A = this chain, B = another copy of it.
């Protein structure tokens, strides 16, 4: 790891890791991004697929992800309406980050072994 990566940032505002956590953190962003990494998904399907998440929370979370440039919202002018959410190119760049985090948890939280060589 390069020296600058050890630079100490005071507070939460300037901490680059916190900045990343603001984008993918919280209770629901990771599962949503994870789903969208597989394929573009409609609002209702996200709601069905992620149990326990209130409509309001899904709506707000998607707006935040859109504002951060991670997901793209595409509305089809049909009746009944159809809205599809997909990963933006910037969202795609999160793939290795998510993969490393997933791997870390599987090894160090869930106790799996032999997956370190994946990355």
Decide: A118 and B21 in contact? CB cutoff 8 A: no
A15-38 toward B: CB 8 Å interface, digit per residue (1/0)? 111111101111110110011011
Known: A108-B90, A108-B93, A109-B20. A12 touches B34 (CB 8 A): no
Q: From residue 1 to 60 of chain A, which have CB atoms closer than 8 A to chain B?
A: 1-2, 5-6, 8-12, 15-21, 23-28, 30-31, 34-35, 37-38, 49-53
Whether A83 is near chain B, meaning CB under 8 Å from some CB there, is no
In Å, the complex CA distance between A108 and B86 comes to 18
Copies of this chain assembled into the complex = 2
In Å, the complex CA distance between A107 and B109 comes to 28
Decide: B31 and A103 in contact? CB cutoff 8 A: no
Interface positions of A (Cβ within 8 A of B): 1-2, 5-6, 8-12, 15-21, 23-28, 30-31, 34-35, 37-38, 49-53, 90, 93-110, 118
Instruction: Give 19 pairs: A residue, B residue, CB < 8 Å, sorted on A.
Output: A8-B38, A10-B31, A10-B51, A11-B31, A11-B51, A12-B27, A12-B31, A12-B52, A15-B34, A16-B103, A17-B98, A18-B30, A18-B31, A19-B109, A20-B109, A25-B26, A93-B107, A96-B100, A100-B100
